[in-house]
Amino acid sequence: MLVALSSGLMVTLFLLLASVKNPDQSIGSLYLEQTLPLAKGSNAVNTIIIDFRSLDTLGEISVLLIAVLAAIGLIMRYRRTPHERTQAAHGPAGFGLPSFKNKELP
């Protein structure tokens, strides 16, 4: 309990100290001022995303890609048919769909 209280007190004091000092210039205006000289672009939003914060954007895209791949994996998960379950490990591999090798298609 002592560790939790001291940690909470330290974080509170740190936040109070950080909020007292008022920066001379905000980061948003700094990005807008440096759009033309550094990034050579007239669209501030594109230059911020592509030039100034590209690694952060790449990280966000990779997280979205992993989430999409996980969703596809959950949607396309393997399900065995009852016939495959009775044959146990010796049964044919399938995705739970009926086999139409020797049958007419419906």
The confidence score (pLDDT) of residue 93 equals 55
Domain membership flag for residue 19: no
Within a domain: 41: yes
pLDDT at 74: 83
pLDDT band with cut points at 50, 70 and 90 for residue 105? very low
* Residue 81 included in any domain: yes
Whole-number Cα distances in Å, 7 to 2, 11, 14, 35:
8, 6, 11, 40
Decide if 74 is inside a domain. Answer: yes
Residue 17 belongs to a domain: no
Q: How far apart are CA 76 and CA 92, in angstroms?
A: 18
**Which two tokens mark 89?**
């490990």
Give percent of the chain above pLDDT 70: 76
Domain count, the chain: 1
Q: If you count them, how many residues does the chain have?
A: 106
Cα separation values, 60 from 54, 56, 57, Å: 10, 6, 5
**Containing domain of residue 71, as a range?**
26-90
Instruction: Specify burial of residue 51 (Cβ count, 10 A radius: 0-12, 13-18, 19+).
Output: middle
Asked whether the predicted pLDDT for residue 8 surpasses 80, the reply is: yes
Q: Specify if 2 maps to a domain.
A: no
* 45 within some domain: yes
